[in-house]
Amino acid sequence: MNINDYLKTSKILDGTFPELESTPDSPFTLFNKWLSDAFESGSDEPAVMVLSTVEDHTPDSRVVLLKAVDDSSLYFETAKPRSKVRQLHGNHNVAANFYWPPLGRQVRIQGTAVLTDDFSHVADNLDAPERDLNVYHIIPYRFEFYQAVTAGYKRFEYVLEDNRWLQHTL
């Protein structure tokens, strides 16, 4: 088959998906639940996220691994001589995207990615204590959750305003 024939036949969000539960006050509670569900449901590589950065108004994306989460941040690591290190030095704004196909779920995160050496509480999850890596934590200010349902989808966001997470249906 030629590539456009493959594209015509590709199926997305084809399955039975979980009901959307009531939403907690903190997006981290829901993110941790959805990420745990992705591990438990056998999603391939559930901790993989697409991380987007911007340099001189030009976006760039790549896959990185989420290495740890705490109450306010998501942690990833990278080698030092990398484009993303230069890009993040000039502009801390990032977007991160998780997609867990078996669950029909996507999470979009916007925030700032800051180089940190304050990671002793998650050091067990990191390679940096043994290797010369940069550790960044993403501090989100917006989460968008997408849940496929039988006939369509549900989408809602949490936005940080005055240190409080506000929820909106989209």
Q: Site residues (CB under 6 A) for ligand FMN? A: 48, 60, 62-65, 76-78, 82-84
Q: How far is the CB of 68 from ligand FMN (least distance, A)?
A: 12
Q: How far is the CB of 112 from ligand FMN (least distance, A)?
A: 17
- Residue spans of beta strands (DSSP E) within the chain: 48-55, 58-65, 68-69, 74-79, 93-100, 105-115, 133-149, 152-161, 164-169
Task: Give the pair of three-digit tokens for residue 12.
Answer: 């997305």
Q: How far is the CB of 64 from ligand FMN (least distance, A)?
A: 4
**Which C-beta is closer to ligand FMN: that of 132 or that of 162?**
132
**Which C-beta is closer to ligand FMN: that of 40 or that of 45?**
45
Q: How far is the CB of 134 from ligand FMN (least distance, A)?
A: 9
**Which C-beta is closer to ligand FMN: that of 63 or that of 115?**
63
3-state SS, one letter per residue, for 70-98: CCCCEEEEEECCCHHHHHHHHCCEEEEEE
Neighbours of 118 (CB within 10 A): 10
**Which C-beta is closer to ligand FMN: that of 72 or that of 83?**
83
